[in-house]
Amino acid sequence: MEPDLSVGLRNWRLASPVIAAAGTFGFGEEYAELYDLAILGAVVTKTLTLCPRAGNPQPRLWETPCGLLNSIGLENPGIDAFCQEILPRVLRLGVPIVVSVFGDDPEEYGELARRIPPNVAALELNLSCPNVPGKSPVLAPTEVAARVAAARASWSGELWVKISPEGDYLGSALAAQDAGADAIVAVNTFRGMAIDLERRAPVFANVMAGLSGPAIKPLSLRIVYELCGVLHIPVIGCGGITSGRDALEFIFAGAHAVQVGTANFLHPLALPRIIREMQEYLRSQGIRNIEEVRGCARKR
């Protein structure tokens, strides 16, 4: 018998602990042509804002050893165009859809949450985008609490909060939990930069960009391990996962599920492979249910 990969979150059960991360999977439609998305726990949409955004100037991507710097700048069609034109199609893909949103202040998060129809599986608050000109990705815990509370007041469904790996991330996660989050997604990208020697200038117009990919995995794993020691709501690990063994490290550290981003760019079939590798490991160890091993690597 295949090992059971389903995992229970607070209010729903995911068919699989592997979730497509925001901004790296579009709205899922291109990937649905390659494989059956029902094998995933969920797809998180690219982040949506109240008004459409054109995003940052080129270049937007820069490869580093074992990593990727991006400065997309939240290019998106805006929440209303998404809800009217794209969401009805995406809801037919056969996988739970999590809508990611970003606002400039608590009121915008409240407004965005009000516009999301109740038939999406969850709302994910992006409180951590490093690529918005003039905005710091690092919020104080009080600012996190205000944004989560505003969204919570107008959204009664499952609410995920995606935090920055920088600043007081433990305080921010605790503040999000107290303000009504159902799960913490940890983490978004780390701020980094690159300099173009020919132009003698930063590669990115916004100078800083977000670092993702295998380079950040030990850092994001550390943060997930720490968060799982202090939170009582589920943690969804994210950052640098490219294999089933990577994903299992996060589960063993205490995460309920994982999100995978950059690996989708390295190979479009990365997610089915990661799920297969997790199953192979569990089968080889005689583990019938992934929930048996959640947190097994934590010091008691």
Ligand X SMILES: Cc1cc2nc3c(=O)[nH]c(=O)nc-3n(C[C@H](O)[C@H](O)[C@H](O)COP(=O)(O)O)c2cc1C
Interface ranges with ligand X (CB under 6 A):
21-24, 46-47, 68, 70, 72, 74, 100, 126, 162, 188-189, 212-213, 216, 238-241, 260-263
CB 240, min distance to ligand X, A: 4
Cβ-based nearer residue to ligand X, 147 or 162: 162
CB 78, min distance to ligand X, A: 14
Angle at 131 between CA 162 and CA 224, to 5 degrees: 30
CB 255, min distance to ligand X, A: 13
Catalytic annotation present for 296? no
Cα gap 191→228, rounded to integer Å: 23
CB 241, min distance to ligand X, A: 5
Cβ-based nearer residue to ligand X, 50 or 238: 238
Cα gap 176→235, rounded to integer Å: 12
Cα gap 54→47, rounded to integer Å: 13
Cβ-based nearer residue to ligand X, 54 or 197: 54
Cβ-based nearer residue to ligand X, 96 or 261: 261
The residue with its CB nearest to ligand X is 23
CB 140, min distance to ligand X, A: 19
What's the token pair of residue 105? Answer: 């202040």
Catalytic residue, from 51, 66, 83, 129: name it: 129
Cβ-based nearer residue to ligand X, 134 or 286: 134
Residue-wise burial string across 29-45, b where 16 or more C-beta atoms lie within 10 A, e elsewhere: eebbeeeebebbbbbbb
How does DSSP assign 96-155, residue by residue? -EEEEE--SSHHHHHHHHHHS-TTSSEEEEE---TTSTT--S---HHHHHHHHHHHHHH-
Cα gap 52→65, rounded to integer Å: 33
Q: Give the residue among 212, 172, 162 at the shortest CA–CA distance from 192.
A: 212
Cα gap 32→206, rounded to integer Å: 33
Catalytic sites, residue numbers = 129
